[in-house]
C-alpha cells in the first residue's frame, strides 16, 4: 500500500474516532455523556486493533482475534461509516460527505488489499 494511502487510512481512523465521540456527545445526555464520548471510540479502536486477518500486509501481520477478510472489511467499514455518521448526527454533514468521499478513495486505491481480503 502506498505511503500516502496509509496516511489517508490513518487520518480516516482518527476522523472516525472523533466522529464517534462527537456523535456520542450529541446523542447522550446527562452523566452518561462523558462516559459515552470515551467508551464509544475506545470500543471502536479495540475492535479495529483486535479483529484482523493473519498476515495482512497492511498491518503488523499479527491477529489477536483472527477473522476472515470479509469480516475484517465489515469491521473497517462499520467503524469508518459510524464515525462518518457521528459527524452527520452532530450537524456536520459537509464533513461527513468529505469523509465518505475519502473512504471511497481509500478503498479504490486499496483494491489489491480488498481483493486479498475477500480471498481470505
Number of domains composing the chain? 1
- In eight-state DSSP terms, residue 77 is H
CA distances from 99 to 15, 54, 104, 105, 106 (A): 8, 28, 9, 10, 10
pLDDT in single tens digits along all 120 residues of the chain: 889 999 999 999 999 999 999 999 999 999 899 999 999 999 999 999 899 898 887 777 677 899 999 999 999 999 999 999 999 999 999 999 999 999 999 999 999 999 999 998
Q: Find the domain containing 18 and state its range.
A: 3-119
Q: The C-alpha cell of 12 is what?
A: 480516516
Amino acid at each position: 500500500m502506498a505511503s500516502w494511502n496509509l496516511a489517508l487510512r490513518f487520518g480516516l481512523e482518527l476522523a472516525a474516532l472523533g466522529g464517534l465521540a462527537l456523535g456520542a456527545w450529541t446523542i447522550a445526555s446527562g452523566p452518561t455523556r462523558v462516559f459515552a464520548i470515551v467508551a464509544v471510540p475506545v470500543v471502536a479502536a479495540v475492535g479495529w486493533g483486535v479483529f484482523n486477518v493473519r498476515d495482512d500486509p497492511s498491518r503488523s501481520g499479527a491477529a489477536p482475534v483472527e477473522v476472515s477478510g470479509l469480516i475484517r472489511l465489515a469491521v473497517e467499514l462499520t467503524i469508518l461509516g459510524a464515525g462518518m455518521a457521528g459527524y452527520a448526527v452532530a450537524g456536520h454533514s459537509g464533513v461527513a460527505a468529505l469523509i465518505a468521499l475519502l473512504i471511497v478513495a481509500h478503498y479504490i486505491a486499496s483494491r489489491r488489499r480488498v481483493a486479498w481480503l475477500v480471498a481470505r
